[in-house]
Amino acid sequence: MSTTMTITPEPATSDGIGDKPVLRVRDLQVTFTRAGKRIRAAKGVSFNVRPGKMLAIIGESGSGKSVTVRALMGLLPPSAKVAGSADLDGQELVGLSDRKMRLVRGQEISMVFQDPARSLNPTMSVGAQIVESVRTHRTVGRKEAAERAIELLKLVRLPAPEKRFHQYPHQLSGGMRQRVMIAIALASDPKVLIADEATTALDVTTQAQIMELLVDLRERLGTAVIMISHDLGLAASYADEVLVMYAGQVVEQAETSELFANVRMPYTRALLEAIPQVSRPSHSALTVIGGHPPDPSQRIEGCPFRPRCVRATETCVTAPALLEHDAGHWYACWHPVTGDPREETES
């Protein structure tokens, strides 16, 4: 049995989660060849993103989060082979020529990265950089583009936007620079905004402010947001839906409240237990997931989490399919966590 099942979650609920997806990713496969070895970085990834909703993609380092979204953006190196489908509002992204992808990127789908200091040009004022982005997407004069740039700075709630317009990146704090990056990403009114670890480099307070801004923007503009993070706590606080990746595969997916109320995958549970807790004495060891993720160049027999999983049995030698076990709650596990308090010490 294969673990690369295509899921087709199409819930229709009253809170709008069931709105027609703006992005439908189906059976996305990303493979690299390095030193003669095939590295399968994304194996049959499927998900939907809905307008005005935030999907969090979470998982340990190397689980395939960035590769998945970079495949959507056409930002992978030429050594990457991408297969499957990614339908952005009727436009197939997989297999698009570089020229067409450049038109879609930044226009229909935009991305904000972890390090705004590296993404911004230090020799240009922030205003000039936003104007440039506006004029890349719209045929407007300088004055109109500058007005739009100020509007965008207001949209991302940058304090004193008229003053900041003339400043250089080094004159802004990390949080302000990230707001500028978001303004640049929004210059074309994209349908989907991807935030790849966009708050990881920021202090906790600024991180919360940027996350609140993203939540606010998805509501106000109806933009779909994909947030990529190592941080389950951040996903729990801000996302509408959560998708958990492990070893290039989706292993659990549900609406945020359902996922955190009824975690089923032992891997997700282990990630949750790895979150530092304020109540824990500072000298106590944090729970970390024992072992390492599998080598992506090696063929995996059965469930990829099996070697690290306290619940694993002989059954797990056969790969569990990703299935919708409860309404809207998908997971790939033979021995899901049941929520029984007697299990509290496990995994």
Ligand X SMILES: Nc1ncnc2c1ncn2[C@@H]1O[C@H](COP(=O)(O)OP(=O)(O)OP(=O)(O)O)[C@@H](O)[C@H]1O
Positions touching ligand X (CB under 6 A) are 32, 34, 39, 41, 59, 61-67, 77, 230, 296
Strand partners, 57: 228, 243
CB 11 within 8 A of CB 50: no
At residue 164, the 3 state secondary structure works out as: helix
> Nearest distance from residue 299's CB to ligand X, in Å?
14
> Nearest distance from residue 75's CB to ligand X, in Å?
11
Residue type, 252: E
Task: CB nearer to ligand X: give 64 or 336.
Answer: 64
Task: CB nearer to ligand X: give 46 or 63.
Answer: 63
87 class by beta-carbon count within 10 Å (0-12 exposed, 13-18 middle, 19+ buried): middle
Structure tokens at 182: 């978001």
Q: Whole-angstrom Cα distance, residue 164 to residue 154? A: 11
Task: CB nearer to ligand X: give 77 or 276.
Answer: 77
Task: CB nearer to ligand X: give 105 or 311.
Answer: 105
Structure tokens at 151: 């509007």
Comparing CA positions, the residue from 119, 192, 179 lying closest to residue 149 is: 179
> Nearest distance from residue 67's CB to ligand X, in Å?
3
Task: CB nearer to ligand X: give 129 or 178.
Answer: 178
Task: CB nearer to ligand X: give 64 or 74.
Answer: 64
Task: CB nearer to ligand X: give 77 or 122.
Answer: 77
Give residues with Cβ within 8 angstroms of 61, minimum separation 6: 230
Q: Whole-angstrom Cα distance, residue 237 to residue 257? A: 10
CB 251 within 8 A of CB 268: yes
DSSP string over 184-241? HHHTT--SEEEEESTTTTS-HHHHHHHHHHHHHHHHHH--EEEEEES-HHHHHHH-SE
Task: CB nearer to ligand X: give 262 or 297.
Answer: 297
> Nearest distance from residue 39's CB to ligand X, in Å?
5
Q: How many residues does the chain have?
A: 347
> Nearest distance from residue 112's CB to ligand X, in Å?
15
Give residues with Cβ within 8 angstroms of 341, minimum separation 6: none
Task: CB nearer to ligand X: give 63 or 178.
Answer: 63
> Nearest distance from residue 175's CB to ligand X, in Å?
21
At residue 323, the 3 state secondary structure works out as: strand
Comparing CA positions, the residue from 315, 313, 321, 294 lying closest to residue 305 is: 294
